[in-house]
Structure 1
Amino acid sequence: MIDRLPVTDGLVQLLETVTGRPVGRRTVPLDAQGRAVTPPYTILYPLERVDDTNTLADDQRATVLDYQATFISGPTPRDPDSRGGDEQAQWLTDRGWKVVERHADGRPGYMHPINVGPGVVCWRREAREAGGMSDPNDAIINSVIRYRLFLEEQPGG
């Protein structure tokens, strides 16, 4: 059985790499002093998990994990008149799409590797944009991508 935590850790690291911004797990990310960071940032939510391939030959080595990444824009720190904007939210979301970016030369695999733990390979990734919303009271606009990761334990792994 594939543990979720190493996969979540790998996806957090990948999102931090491709966005250049902090990622929180189910909550606002914290800085080194334990304080909430200011936007822009991403919040990653683990969603569904499926461990059955629905085949007669199912050897229980495959798992499909779904995640939601919420990309949060926000006001400029120390500027009380600033607002998070659509441009900032789309900029961050565009970087989030790099999770499923393929090689331009047609080579197999993905541009940006994901470390999902020893003996496990993520052989397929899917993403779909699921909208977003704004909260004018908080001056925050967000956008959402839902990822689906197809994983398999390697024999002897």
Structure 2
Amino acid sequence: MIDTHPFTTALAALLATASGRPVGEGRRPDGDPSSYYILYFITRTTDGAPFSDLNEDAELTYQVSAVSGPDPDDPDSYGTQDQLQWLDDKARRAILERDPNTRRWINALTVAGCRVTGRRAAGEAGETPDPSDAIMSSAQRFTFTVTSP
């Protein structure tokens, strides 16, 4: 059986390390960052061998919400579309980018109890500005195919 929580924790760590931005699991990260990601678990499907039914394969879908907001040290600043698109690009690269020579993912996703065999973009909800709060956000979804080792 493939557990969801260790995968979520590993994915959040990958995104934070590769992007250099804080990541909250299902909530805003601690502190007062001006730009950050929120990682949401969306859904899973499981599958397995027909006779053992151990659910040894799964597809896990996550949403990565990027948030671009005002600088905490400058109350007159605003989140910008440029900053938001930079965050989106960083997240996409962190999760999907491959080495052109080896075709391996640039950022390894190591999770105890499973092996990642596939990663793909699963859709983008687009950008949402909130002028009253000077915050802009966007959402991208990614699906990961995993199997028991």
TM-score, L = length of structure 2:
0.90
Alpha-carbon distance between aligned partners in 1 of 2:54 and 2:33, rounded to the nearest angstrom: 45
- Per-residue deviation at 1:59? 5.4
Q: Does 1:72 align with 2:67?
A: yes
Q: Percent identity?
A: 38
Which residue of 92, 95, 98 corresponds with 1:97? 92
Q: Does 1:4 align with 2:1?
A: no
Q: Which residue does the alignment assign to 2:77?
A: 82
Alpha-carbon distance between aligned partners in 2 of 1:21 and 1:49, rounded to the nearest angstrom: 26
Q: Which residue does the alignment assign to 1:113?
A: 108
> 1:59-85: per-residue Cα shift (whole Å, max 9, x none)?
521011000000000112222221001
Alpha-carbon distance between aligned partners in 2 of 1:59 and 1:27, rounded to the nearest angstrom: 32
Q: Which residue does the alignment assign to 1:34?
A: none
Q: SS where residue 47 of structure 2 aligns?
A: coil
Give 5+ residue unaligned stretches, structure 1: 32-36
Contact 2:22–2:33 (8 Å) recurs in 1: no
Alpha-carbon distance between aligned partners in 2 of 1:129 and 1:20, rounded to the nearest angstrom: 22
Q: SS where residue 131 of structure 1 aligns?
A: strand
Give 5+ residue unaligned stretches, structure 2: none
Q: Which residue does the alignment assign to 2:134?
A: 139
Q: Which residue does the alignment assign to 2:146?
A: 151
Which residue of 104, 116, 135 corresponds with 1:122? 116
Contact 2:2–2:55 (8 Å) recurs in 1: no
Alpha-carbon distance between aligned partners in 1 of 2:33 and 2:23, rounded to the nearest angstrom: 11
Alpha-carbon distance between aligned partners in 2 of 1:136 and 1:42, rounded to the nearest angstrom: 19
Q: Which residue does the alignment assign to 1:44?
A: 39
TM-score, L = length of structure 1:
0.86
- Per-residue deviation at 1:115? 1.8
Q: Which residue does the alignment assign to 1:20?
A: 20
The one-letter code sitting in structure 2 at the alignment partner of 1:125 is R
> 1:33-71: per-residue Cα shift (whole Å, max 9, x none)?
xxxx22200000000110136x85765210110000000
> 1:21-40: per-residue Cα shift (whole Å, max 9, x none)?
10001111013xxxxx2220
